[in-house]
Structure 1
């Protein structure tokens, strides 16, 4: 298997926020018939969470269909290493990185001139599925080949307050605001996570990438060295309420009618319960291209089962590559 890895930064208007993206280039880099994959992460994570899945996926592709041209993984503006670069601008302009701004970031990225002529397939985990659905409002038809949603947390207007997703969002918000965000050092943080859920269930490669890219060395109020998350908990909390994940069912249906839309569900319904899955499938008017499940995985599939997730994605990609070429941007 031959591929190269690069980190790129792109400046977004109007305030100059930086979008950081990792690019993984394969031996098919000059083959315009092959696919460009764009991976977006869920709330509180970072672009490198996808790295074990991408590595396995590229390995599988090199051994088999050879349909991947390149893969990209994006940081949301205030997540991962992008948060460190954007902190000053976010503070100076009072920017709230909400669903709308993250949607605009996603759309600005895949419409960059460098992607003209590329056959783009989106791969979205959890809450980032919302950004792709909402970006479809800008077009009569999204200018991509299709979308793979991994345990999407799509919600819809009018959900009752006792809906599990609504209650879970409230619980997550309270938990984030109450948590400890100040650690003595990385060794202390690593030991803490090794003993507790959800981290103790994660693939060790993903956990190490999380520690490396989602936390940073800092100085506490007493001037002592410490370790903090790159994502501020006040910023994270606003992304958990149901409003942050609410989309119009008609927008989901529009995508499903026009493009191949695939769902990959967790085996254990930790967040997306069976009734929620039924709602999300119904929003697509049962026009889904495929529905799969990753055995043994909870909601955090990329963190827990990255290799198995790569197998599921690998099974889908040839169907995109075999489809007729669509008009590019």
Structure 2
């Protein structure tokens, strides 16, 4: 099945910390097939990636979903965080001369951009399913902030290895979390980010953590779409390592997302997908479906893989998403 892709550039909302006229861009890509384009009653799937990734990492999953559930899906959209993927390239000059150079671009700002996209005329009348991985999961939850329960835009929410966590739970497990975070930030800041060619970069990554556990298609997507031609020759990561490192300590959006789940999960079905060997402790996983806090889960699925299960086992993640889409079939064609 041949996927048709259409890239667009979306102007992000002005952020209060930035100077007038400082408007970042968000790169997005639409996926459909010749058949699905005419299926306007089908679902529109929205995808948000994890820290250090890019929108095309979802492509193996999107391809499998269209193959297995082509009659249920109208289109899919995937978004690059303002510092990641093609967005990072588009915003490079602004990021180098704005407060974002020091503070990064928070997941709150990515939330605002995706929420503005969801409210845009392009999405009017669409029946949407929001899907996020890790920090992208928190981002998708937060796109519902300030929206009345009767007007929530999604038919379902699918969170893959979400790092959404309550403030209390974060500080309860802080002794384990802070050393891990400090290690990841230090390793990211010192990581190699330039190679002579995409082929060299792919071969180098294939022998090293974390890429050595990835599905070959995910590694191909990284070498094809996660790298940009560098001045003077060679290739460089589209997401500057300094910007990626700034994203990890940005924990407030994860706290806010946990609170938001308590508000919206009774109105929109929330489906959780975990890797068997993921990053999030079981006690934190359980907290995301703690009914006493208002958080409920319509389903919980476990698949083989770790925290990077989107890259490690894309077929299993796609199958888990398809199972959720099956629960929406009876409502196909209804208007939200």
Say whether the fold is shared (TM-score over 0.5).
yes
**Structure 2 partner of 1:58:** 66
**What secondary structure, in the 3-state scheme, does the structure 2 residue paired with 1:56 have?**
helix
Q: Provide the C-alpha distance between the structure 2 equivalents of 1:184 and 1:28, rounded to a whole number of angstroms.
A: 40
Q: 2:298 aligns with which of 260, 271, 289?
A: 289
Quick check: 1:238–1:244 contact (8 Å CA) kept in 2?
no
**Structure 1 partner of 2:17:** none
Q: Provide the C-alpha distance between the structure 2 equivalents of 1:23 and 1:261, rounded to a whole number of angstroms.
A: 24
**Structure 1 partner of 2:91:** 86
Q: 1:149 aligns with which of 141, 147, 159?
A: 159
Instruction: Return 256-265 or 5-14, whichever deviates more.
Output: 5-14
**What secondary structure, in the 3-state scheme, does the structure 1 residue paired with 2:247 have?**
coil
How far did residue 2 of structure 1 move?
5.7
How far did residue 243 of structure 1 move?
1.8
Taking structure 1 as the reference length, what is the TM-score of the superposition? 0.89
Asked if 1:212 is matched to 2:224, the reply is yes
**Structure 2 partner of 1:72:** 77
**Structure 1 partner of 2:6:** 6
1:42-99 deviations in Å (ceiling 9; x for gaps) = 001001100011001100013xxx2111111111111111211111233344333112
Quick check: 1:34–1:321 contact (8 Å CA) kept in 2?
no
Q: Provide the C-alpha distance between the structure 2 equivalents of 1:207 and 1:291, rounded to a whole number of angstroms.
A: 27
Taking structure 2 as the reference length, what is the TM-score of the superposition? 0.87
How many pairs are equivalent? 319
Q: Provide the C-alpha distance between the structure 1 equivalents of 2:200 and 2:63, rounded to a whole number of angstroms.
A: 29
Residues 211 and 28 of structure 1: CA distance in aligned 2, closer, same or farther (over 3 Å): closer
How far did residue 183 of structure 1 move?
2.8
Moved over 6 A (4+): none
Specify every segment of 5 or more residues in structure 1 that has no aligned partner in the other structure, as ranges.
none
How far did residue 242 of structure 1 move?
5.9
Q: Provide the C-alpha distance between the structure 2 equivalents of 1:71 and 1:42, rounded to a whole number of angstroms.
A: 17
Q: 1:17 aligns with which of 1, 24, 29?
A: 24
Residues 256 and 110 of structure 1: CA distance in aligned 2, closer, same or farther (over 3 Å): same
Q: Provide the C-alpha distance between the structure 2 equivalents of 1:286 and 1:86, rounded to a whole number of angstroms.
A: 36
Asked if 1:29 is matched to 2:45, the reply is no
How far did residue 197 of structure 1 move?
1.8
**Structure 2 partner of 1:164:** 176
**Structure 1 partner of 2:18:** none
**What secondary structure, in the 3-state scheme, does the structure 2 residue paired with 1:38 have?**
strand
Residues 239 and 255 of structure 1: CA distance in aligned 2, closer, same or farther (over 3 Å): same
Q: 1:107 aligns with which of 96, 104, 115?
A: 115
Quick check: 1:11–1:18 contact (8 Å CA) kept in 2?
yes
Q: Provide the C-alpha distance between the structure 2 equivalents of 1:137 and 1:146, rounded to a whole number of angstroms.
A: 15
RMSD between aligned alpha carbons? 2.2
Q: Provide the C-alpha distance between the structure 1 equivalents of 2:157 and 2:242, rounded to a whole number of angstroms.
A: 30
**What secondary structure, in the 3-state scheme, does the structure 2 residue paired with 1:154 have?**
coil
Residues 24 and 324 of structure 1: CA distance in aligned 2, closer, same or farther (over 3 Å): closer
Q: Provide the C-alpha distance between the structure 1 equivalents of 2:126 and 2:28, rounded to a whole number of angstroms.
A: 17
Specify every segment of 5 or more residues in structure 2 that has no aligned partner in the other structure, as ranges.
15-21
Asked if 1:252 is matched to 2:264, the reply is no
Residues 323 and 228 of structure 1: CA distance in aligned 2, closer, same or farther (over 3 Å): same
**What secondary structure, in the 3-state scheme, does the structure 2 residue paired with 1:257 have?**
coil
